[in-house]
Structure 1
Amino acid sequence: MKGQNSLYIVAITLVATLGGLLFGYDTAVISGAEKSVQAYLIDGLGLSSWSHGATISSALIGCIIGGALSGLLSSRFGRKKSLMLAAGLFFLSALGSGAPEFLFFTKGEPTMGLLYMFNFYRIIGGIGVGLASAVCPMYIGEIAPADIRGRLVSINQFAIIFGMLVVYFVNWGIANGQSLEWINTIGWRRMFTSEAIPAGIFGVLLFFVPETPRYLALNHQDDKALSILTRINGIDQAKIILQEIKGTVEKSSAKLLSYGVTIIVIGILLSVFQQFVGINVALYYAPRIFESMGAEKDASMLQTVVMGLVNVIFTVVAIVTVDKWGRRPLLMVGSVGMAIGMFAIGALSFMKVIGIGTLVFIIIYTASFMMSWGPITWVLISEIFPNKIRGKAVAIAVAAQWAANYFISSTYPAMMEFSGGMTYSFYGLMSVLSFIFVWKMVPETKGKTLEEMEHLLKK
């Protein structure tokens, strides 16, 4: 659009999406370290598969906390300072998870206290992930012009997947050619500690980006808001946008249910379905899934990298199409693809057929997710809620998402012990239900400003 400062918009977006990259990095780093953590802390203490599932998923407890606090923190201290806090938590978690014995425990001697300390550091990182997962798309959504908002928020999902791909390469690079003993004593620690590098870079770069104009307008800092809007959109468009923002701020009630229950329910169900289709099972346990198909240790890590590349490619498909095709069509196509993939994997599991076909259907499933529910959920969560309740409503939706994530991820090992076929078929069923939900309830938001969305909701 005429007057837009494209370079400035992209620069701000790229800094904000480093939070998404760290979100992906932190959630996927466990995939390479998971079996070593099991050998050192779970098997070393003689604990059950439930303890294993809870430990591998412990960061998700922090994600729930961070998601729930994101509304309070982003509304009180601003979007930018909330992201700075997330960067600090990522950095602390990276160092602590890699050396949980620091100060209090003896290295190489597993104890219940050490297990609790490891989980504590993972939860700290999870709080950072929960904050970043809510505030990054909110920040980008409030900065971005309406005609490219879908693409810019989708770049955050690209950053999440790219962060996962980077850590798959890092984990593979650390483990490649090393003995299992070395990986189980030293390698897994380096996997966790490596996150400190992008976390430090994110924290420094955040000093150079502005607060969002909508947050500033909500807090009666109109001059600052106009200055940032002018730099993004040009002076004429900036004045129009500021008047629209001020109109919604003055008219809106601060109560969460000012626009009815339905919009909050839609936000929660978008989040819950994004997790109940089982995506994080594929992401957290990827090497173990490939090893169960008969792959060697190094080959399973490499297949995980291949899956990461597929994820990146199909996230780019979403970025390119989200503002052309709209949100609803992409979600519905993705639901169909995920259902086909998961039902096929379930059928192969019932027949005890393991081979290239399973890998193909995992790729079909993850590709379908990455071009639809992965990025589009975050786009919708960042834009469907009115200005005055956005912080609170996003916090509820994101907390629900992480609660659903924790439930699915922590129950996966026990569900697989019961029946692999039924486990994957359950995720297939959730994919079918997600299609029906979008068809019946989700509004199309393509091309509308955040303020226009508010008027649509009032009607």
Structure 2
Amino acid sequence: MPAGGFSAPAPNGVEFEAKITPIVVISCIMAATGGLMFGYDVGVSGGVTSMDDFLVKFFPVVYRKKHQADNSNYCKYDNQGLQLFTSSLYLAGLTSTFFASYTTRNFGRKPTMLIAGIFFIIGVILNTAAQDLAMLIVGRIFLGCGVGFANQAVPLFLSEIAPTRIRGALNILFQLMTTIGILFANLVNYGTAKIHPWGWRLSLGLAGIPALLLTVGSILVVDTPNSLIQRGHLQEGKAVLKKIRGTENVEPEYNELLEASRIAKEVKHPFRNLLKRRNRPQLVIAIFLQIFQQFTGINAIMFYAPVLFNTLGFKNDASLYSAVITGAVNVISTVVSIYTVDKLGRRVLLLEAGIQMFLSQVVIAILLGIKLKDHTDGLPHGIGILVVVMVCVFVSAFAWSWGPLGWLIPSETFPLETRSAGQSVTVCVNLLFTFVIAQAFLSMLCHFKYGIFLFFSGWVLIMSVFVFFLVPETKNIPIEEMTEKVWKRHWYWKRFMDDDDEGLELHDEKKVGKTNGYDDSKL
């Protein structure tokens, strides 16, 4: 085995030679800037919507409610238009992901990331120059289209270019960059809140930095060997494979990619094929991971962190400062995940985090229920600090578990023939429920009051039970061996691996099970 590299085991006993080459690291960092853009969009909206200048221009009703002394602490920001400003991005992303699936499959991961970057740039320009609410929403819709394309292509790109034994860590780069984007947005909001009356424009305009990084990066990176071979560029795919592996000895892996591509091409309707019995475990797990990820309540906190802390009685500076703290915790904890995901495994992180998130949300609910009344100036100083600490405990647990693993697990379990379609469903479900939470949270906060945290903690309990019984461990398992080593050995999912699909699936079931199309696991 070459120095600085490793060999990934193949099903036939041949070891695929691979080094961790600079081109892999650089390509992954560039691609992960899609996460930076996504995170900045998530983080910037909450800070902007707490700025008085922004509210006066676009939401004067909310501005008046915010400054009415007799208005409930929990209901200051309850406004459907304000929520639409945040949630419209995710509704657009939900729709665009199906178009992104087509471009990812037929034109490659690299062009899809480029399209995402262009959408981001247009959205940033419209938001920064917005003169009315319609222009603001249209800008958010363009940003949403960028999110749909980026979230479709980037996780696939990262999984397909990464070596097997660090696949989890490199894939989590997307989530790490998302958390850095959120932190960057919180820091920007903290500074621009003091710039009147156009600070909010600067906050929205600085999203152009990650947008340009993604656009330029997508031009410079190579497309994945998987995508090139699948689209018939065999020699180019082989050349890229040699480049990213740092070795000339790629023939065994190349042959596996050819076989996986052959199987993938026989599937003419990938979305229909997703419904086949043998693909049901991956589909069910991918869908429920996205639903549960949103019902942890994390995005309610990340979207509206300054608004939430302001609601709890923190002054503007204090609320933005608290949001910066939670953003920093988010980044640090995601780094923890990068170092542990391929050592401890996926299940351990998910289950430990479930306990931590449940307890922290229950404590927050109790503190608010006892100490925060409807028409007071907010929480006592000591209790306020404790609430921020518990929010950080919650955010840290999510950041090293459900945040990155909600994207990692689906990206490494779908076979090549359904991977683009599977990723589309994953992104679509994620953005659908992100939209629901973003659109409903401020109204839920107004009506549920402190009970909103009990609502989310109940979902955390349910999803932890789901993981315990139905989510198998996938660390360090090449995905061409997933069927034999994971699904056929799982107490429940093995019943779906009985090779009873009709037509093409029946003819090639054993080959599909053996290779399972997962070329990126051998990387």
- Comparing 4-13 with 252-261, which one deviates more in the overlay? 252-261
2:428 aligned residue: 399
Question: Does residue 13 in structure 1 map to residue 28 in structure 2?
Answer: yes
CA distance in 1, matches of 2:149, 2:466: 27
2:68 aligned residue: none
- Give the alignment's TM-score, normalised by structure 1: 0.91
Q: In the TM superposition, what whole-angstrom CA distance separates every residue of 1:287-330 from its partner, at most 9, and x where no partner exists? A: 12222333221121111111111111110110000010111111
1:204 aligned residue: 216
What amino acid does structure 2 have at the position aligned with 1:251?
A: I
Question: Does residue 414 in structure 1 map to residue 426 in structure 2?
Answer: no
What pairs with 1:231-380 in structure 2 (closer than 5 Å)? 231-235=243-247, 238-252=250-264, 254=267, 255-258=273-276, 259-353=278-372, 354=379, 355-380=384-409
Selected match of 1:141 from 133, 139, 159? 159
CA distance in 2, matches of 1:430, 1:237: 49
CA distance in 1, matches of 2:121, 2:166: 32
1:73 aligned residue: 103
TM-aligned CA deviation for residue 117 of structure 1:
2.3
Confirm or deny: 8 A CA contact 2:123 2:140 kept in the other structure.
yes
TM-aligned CA deviation for residue 385 of structure 1:
0.5
What amino acid does structure 2 have at the position aligned with 1:379?
A: L
Number of equivalenced pairs: 441
TM-aligned CA deviation for residue 40 of structure 1:
2.2
1:104 aligned residue: none
What amino acid does structure 2 have at the position aligned with 1:14?
A: I
Q: Unpaired runs of 5+ in structure 2?
A: 7-17, 66-77, 268-272, 373-378, 488-496, 498-512, 514-523
CA distance in 2, matches of 1:280, 1:321: 23
CA distance in 2, matches of 1:164, 1:302: 13
Q: In the TM superposition, what whole-angstrom CA distance separates every residue of 1:109-138 from its partner, at most 9, and x where no partner exists? A: xxxxx3222111101101111221221111
Q: In the TM superposition, what whole-angstrom CA distance separates every residue of 1:23-52 from its partner, at most 9, and x where no partner exists? A: 101121112111344432222599971222
CA distance in 2, matches of 1:452, 1:70: 28
CA distance in 1, matches of 2:117, 2:358: 36
Question: Does residue 51 in structure 1 map to residue 81 in structure 2?
Answer: yes
TM-aligned CA deviation for residue 233 of structure 1:
1.8
Selected match of 1:169 from 166, 169, 187? 187
TM-aligned CA deviation for residue 334 of structure 1:
1.2
CA distance in 2, matches of 1:454, 1:117: 49
1:41 aligned residue: 58
1:386 aligned residue: 415
Confirm or deny: 8 A CA contact 1:67 1:402 kept in the other structure.
no
CA distance in 2, matches of 1:326, 1:244: 26
**Structure (1/2) with the larger helix percentage:** 1
What amino acid does structure 2 have at the position aligned with 1:149?
A: R
Confirm or deny: 8 A CA contact 2:47 2:307 kept in the other structure.
no
Confirm or deny: 8 A CA contact 2:263 2:417 kept in the other structure.
no
- Comparing 31-40 with 409-418, which one deviates more in the overlay? 31-40
- Give the alignment's TM-score, normalised by structure 2: 0.81
Confirm or deny: 8 A CA contact 1:30 1:284 kept in the other structure.
yes
CA distance in 2, matches of 1:261, 1:202: 34
SS at match of 1:351: helix
Relative to 1, partners in 2 of residues 1:363 and 1:202: Cα closer, same or farther, differing over 3 Å? same
Moved over 4 A (4+): 44-48, 454-459
What amino acid does structure 2 have at the position aligned with 1:26?
A: D
CA distance in 2, matches of 1:61, 1:390: 22
Q: Unpaired runs of 5+ in structure 1?
A: 102-113
CA distance in 1, matches of 2:162, 2:310: 43
Question: Does residue 32 in structure 1 map to residue 32 in structure 2?
Answer: no
Question: Does residue 189 in structure 1 map to residue 201 in structure 2?
Answer: yes
1:109 aligned residue: none
1:63 aligned residue: 93
What amino acid does structure 2 have at the position aligned with 1:338?
A: M
CA distance in 2, matches of 1:69, 1:279: 27
SS at match of 2:275: coil
TM-aligned CA deviation for residue 279 of structure 1:
0.5
Relative to 1, partners in 2 of residues 1:295 and 1:421: Cα closer, same or farther, differing over 3 Å? closer
CA distance in 2, matches of 1:282, 1:237: 49
Question: Does residue 216 in structure 1 map to residue 228 in structure 2?
Answer: yes
- Comparing 215-224 with 14-23, which one deviates more in the overlay? 215-224
What amino acid does structure 1 have at the position aligned with 2:185?
A: V
Query: Percent of aligned pairs with the same residue?
Result: 30
Question: Does residue 123 in structure 1 map to residue 141 in structure 2?
Answer: yes
TM-aligned CA deviation for residue 237 of structure 1:
5.3
- Comparing 376-385 with 398-407, which one deviates more in the overlay? 376-385
What amino acid does structure 2 have at the position aligned with 1:4?
A: K
What amino acid does structure 1 have at the position aligned with 2:158?
A: I
